[in-house]
């Protein structure tokens, strides 16, 4: 009977040269977090996302979606129609990370009064 060995980490977020830092930044940035949490609900078109995420510019939404797509978290599907239709959804990896981010955002929302009362 063999014992399972613990998974070996391949990244080191504490290293300045590790690409995990860039990915962490994409996932935990304000806009990245909001896009991930929004896409848990359903597939969205660009304009719908822009309307749902208060304060995000088209430029920032575009940059955020491109970064999350490059990391393999967001799937962009373009339909060959006129006018063009593009939809965004989460990949399986994106669903996994979005669930983690959603837990954090829920915790912040739940504890917001306590957090704000601690501010000086």
Q: Return the CATH number at 109.
A: 1.10.10.10
107 inside domain: yes
Q: What's the structural domain count of the chain?
A: 1
The reported pLDDT for the residue numbered 97 is: 98
Its domain, for residue 56, covers 20-118
95 inside domain: yes
14 inside domain: no
Tens digits of pLDDT across the chain (120 residues): 445 656 666 788 899 989 999 999 999 999 999 999 999 999 999 999 999 999 999 999 999 999 999 999 999 999 998 888 999 999 999 999 999 999 999 999 999 999 999 998
22-28, Cβ contacts within 8 angstroms, sequence gap of 24 or more: 23/71, 26/64, 26/67, 26/68, 26/71, 26/73, 27/68, 27/71, 27/73, 27/97, 27/101, 28/101
The reported pLDDT for the residue numbered 6 is: 61
79 inside domain: yes
5 inside domain: no
6 inside domain: no
Whole-number Å distance between alpha carbons of 51 and 74? 18
């Amino acid at each position: 009977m063999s014992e399972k060995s613990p998974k070996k980490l391949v990244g080191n977020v504490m290293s300045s040269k590790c690409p995990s830092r860039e990915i962490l930044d994409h996932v935990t940035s304000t806009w990245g977090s909001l896009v991930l949490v929004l896409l848990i609900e359903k597939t969205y078109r660009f304009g719908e996302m822009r309307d749902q995420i208060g304060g995000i510019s088209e430029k920032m939404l575009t940059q955020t979606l491109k970064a999350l797509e490059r990391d393999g978290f967001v799937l962009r599907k373009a339909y060959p129609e006129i006018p063009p239709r593009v939809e965004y959804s989460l990949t399986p990896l994106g669903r996994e990370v979005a669930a983690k981010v959603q837990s954090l955002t829920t915790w912040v929302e739940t504890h917001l009064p306590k957090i704000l009362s601690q501010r000086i």
